[in-house]
Chains A and B, each alone.
Chain A
Amino acid sequence: MEQSGNFFQMGGYAFYVWSSYGLTLIVLLINYLSPKFSEKKLIAELVKRSKLKKTDIK
């Protein structure tokens, strides 16, 4: 495969190839980050709730 310097041009198909890979990367990243973020939020909420309960008892 000739790729000396022409690698990013993808034989003239650069736009199509790189958009495909870029789009895939973005979609996979979003699907990775969004549940991580929402789980953190949920745990923080539950921690807050349990702290409130503790002070109620006191």
Chain B
Amino acid sequence: MWKWITKFASPMHFYLLVNRLTPWLGWGAAILFVAGVYGALFYAPADYQQGESFRIIYVHVPSAWMSMFIYMVMAAAGGAGLIWKTKVSDAIARSSAPLGASFTFLALATGSLWGKPMWGTWWVWDARLTSELILLFLYLGYIALQSAIDDKRTAARAGAILALVGVVNIPIIHYSVEWWNTLHQGPTITKLDTPSIHIDMLIPLLIMALAFNLYYAAMVLIRARHEIIEQEKNSKWVQDLIIDKVAV
């Protein structure tokens, strides 16, 4: 197992692994997206209170889950980079930031689009919404920090520290609906009890969540591959790779 991990951390093997994995992840995500959107728009029954507007949750909830999950991946990869100084983990951390920021933005925007007809307002300074907004600022701060520091190593270190400190926000987002009296509803799925959502509504949501996960996995690997090629452009394996391309 350890041998496999160290192999994965070598930039060249990482490159080869990404080439092999991304088609599977990408097509898997595409198929699940089609199934999930069909389920979300046609299969799931309208909510008895919210009517058709509840269909927004099929993009809102997976986005919100991804916004937190990607942050944890980014912090963990950053931490691994701090300890083992592996280029691959730094590349994964850096590549996660724009994706995480995108999903955070989507969670906030689709939440707003749901809030307007349901709560009668686009925005409230409620604990859940505010902590999610802070998450967006953490991502943007991380991205700004990366572009402000020219040396990749220093940038990765500084970013990892910022990401790790920001982890404190994740449980705050998750438990905000329990700790404070929020306008945002409590958890219906991620709780120890059985989920309080009808199975016909739940299945499309889980398919969408899986689609978002595969999409993220494919995209973060493609971005990280780009980072790796750029950083390793003077190494022998990248030059050999380019020579192959020239020869074709």
Contacts and interface: CB of A to CB of B under 8 A. Distances in A.
Interface in B99-139: 99, 102, 105-106, 109-110, 113-114, 116-117
A13 B51 contact: yes
A24 B226 contact: no
A35 B56 contact: no
A20 interface: yes
Given A20-B60, A23-B109, A47 B242 contact: yes
Nearest to B55: A17
Given A10-B52, A17-B53, A46-B242, A35 B42 contact: no
A27 interface: yes
Contacts of A13: 51-53, 117
Interface stretch (B141-149, B178-186, B217-225): B217-225
Main DSSP-derived SS at the B contact region: helix
A10 B46 CA distance: 10
A58 interface: no
A42 B238 CA distance: 12
Interface residues of B, number: 39
Given A23-B110, A24-B59, A31 B53 contact: no
Interface residues of A, number: 31
Contacts of B46: 1, 11
Given A16-B117, A20-B60, A47-B242, A1 B45 contact: yes
Interface of B: 37, 41-42, 45-46, 51-53, 55-56, 59-60, 63, 98-99, 102, 105-106, 109-110, 113-114, 116-117, 215, 219, 222-223, 225-226, 229-230, 233, 238-239, 242-243, 245-246
